[in-house]
Structure formats: structure tokens, C-alpha cells
Amino acid sequence: MKYLFIFFTITFLTLFQLSDGYAAENAKNPSSLFTHKQLITGLNISQINYENWVAGGEDALSWVASIDAKFEIKHKKMRYHFSTNMEYGQVKQDKEPPKVAQNKLNVETVITYLKGSFVNPFFSVKLNSPITRSYDYSKTPKQPKADFFDPLVLQQSMGMGFNPIKELKTRFGIALKETRTHQFTFYSDNPKTPDVERLKVETGIDHTTEFNKTFNKNLKLYSKLELFSSFEHLDVVDVRWRNTLQAKLTKMIAVNVKAHYLYDKDVSLKGQFMHSITIGLTYNFF
């Protein structure tokens, strides 16, 4: 929990410094505080029901709720970027109990010193966690595999960032990664030791690339690739790759195509892949 405290302390101090520094400068124009702000909520629902259907089939209901927020502040030689992505959803088939289908919380803060036009040093903090308890439904009975802040993954990085074009940001750095667990210790335990470790600390190389392209007011593409390799095992790379293509049909209805890829050798020797095509409600507060 102390790592969570450190994360929110850094975020609070950053925002406090910004609000204090901008108080006088933006007294006549408060809206200039943010150079970019985005708060999008979404709700996708799919339902199918059969009655006297000769060909057979099972009733099904699925839903996914999401929040995607990004705020960016530029002050003199500094740029402060804060983003969070939350998704939670369930699937229910026929008379079976609901199953968790989407369950994630990602938070990131990046502080960049604007030294040049394209290359700038940065410091970042990332937080990843499930939102609630999830299970392995392939086993009978179902086996719990994660819970809120169990595991909790914190990662701090510092290095150089590159911004060759407006839509593309990439950065390389040295990283400190902490994985904290309580019940699900297989995320953090070292099987080579007799004790059960609930905290795993790794140092290594971090790389993040973001591509955010708005083709027109109704079509947007967002892709984020995150890589981490520890100094002890440079030949093994953890991968987190998230892609979202959104096409708006109306102001509040959109089609979302998502593809996520995860690879973490400590969790599974195989890559994890998820893709979905949904249509549902979406609303951008800004």
C-alpha cells in the first residue's frame, strides 16, 4: 500500500504545483490550464433471447462499461500528462451465473521536461490493477485468479521521450517495477526460494509508444504499446498492447473495435489475446 501512497502523493504534489503556478497566470483565462482534456464514458450491451427456436440456442446477455480520461497541462518548460482507463463487464448465458469478461484499471502520470522540439527527458508512474475479483472459468469449480489491487503493479520510469509527429509519442527509459499481491501470490512469488514473496521488485528497460489519430470527427484510432524487460532476463519481454478503433454513428452511438494483447511469462507462457466488436452508447464530456 505504501507504493500506492507514493503514487498518489506524486500526483497530488504535481497538480498542486500546477494550480499554484497557474493561479495568477490564468486568472483572466482559466480554460487555458489544459492543453488537452478528454473524458469519455461508454456502455455496450448485447442481448439475445430464444423462444421455441427449433434450431436451438442459449439466451445471452453481455455488457461492458468504460471510462477513458486524458488530461494534459503544459506550463513553461514542463508538460504534465495524466490518463486513466477503466473497463468492467460481464457475460451471462442462459441460466448460468454472470461471468466477469472485462476487469481492468490502468492509471498513468507522465512529467516531461520540454528541452527540445522532438526529444525530451521524462519521468512516469504507472498503476495497473483489476477492478474486482475475477476467475478462471475453465476449471470446475471456478478458481479465483485476481482481485482489486491483487495484484497491484506499479512502475516508475525515467528516460528520453520522442515526439516526431503530433500523433505519435514514444519513450525509452530505465524502470523500477513492483508487483504486490495478497492472496494471489503466484504473480509475485519466486518459486526458487522456500518463502512465499508477496512483493516482487524488478529493474529493467521500459518502452512505451502511443499513436492517437483522429481521421475525422467520426473516426478515431488509438494504439498503445508497452514493453518491459528486466536486467536479469533481457531476453524476456513483457508486452501490453491495446488498440481501439472507434467509429461514431451519431453523437452518442459508436462502433468500437478493440484488440488487446498481453504477454507476461510470470503469469502465462502463452500470449493472451482479446478482441471485440461492439456498438453502444458513448459520451465525451469535453
pTM of the model: 0.82
Confidence of residue 3 (pLDDT cuts 50, 70, 90): very low
End-to-end CA distance of the chain: 33
Q: Give the residue-averaged pLDDT of 50-57.
A: 75
Say if CB 135 and CB 115 are below 8 A apart: no
- 103-118 per-position pLDDT tens digit: 999 999 999 998 877 8
Question: Quick one: which of 217, 254, 19, 11 has its CA closest to 124?
Answer: 11
Give the residue with greater pLDDT, 45 vs 33: 45
Listed by start position, the domains of the chain span 2-50+57-284
Percent of the chain whose pLDDT exceeds 70: 88
Question: Quick one: which of 13, 23, 28 has its CA closest to 123?
Answer: 13
Say if CB 286 and CB 37 are below 8 A apart: yes
Residue 33: what pLDDT? 67
Q: Which CATH fold would you assign to the domain 2-50+57-284? A: Outer membrane phospholipase (ompla); Chain C (2.40.230)
Quote the cell numbers at residue 17.
504545483
Question: Quick one: which of 274, 276, 202 has its CA closest to 238?
Answer: 202
Output the average pLDDT for the chain: 86
What lies within 8 Å, CB to CB, of 163 at 6+ separation is 118, 120, 169, 170
Q: Give the residue-averaged pLDDT of 245-258.
A: 92
Q: Give the residue-averaged pLDDT of 92-105.
A: 90
Side chain identity, residue 234: L
The helix/strand/coil state of 74 is strand
Confidence of residue 29 (pLDDT cuts 50, 70, 90): low
Residue 74: what pLDDT? 87
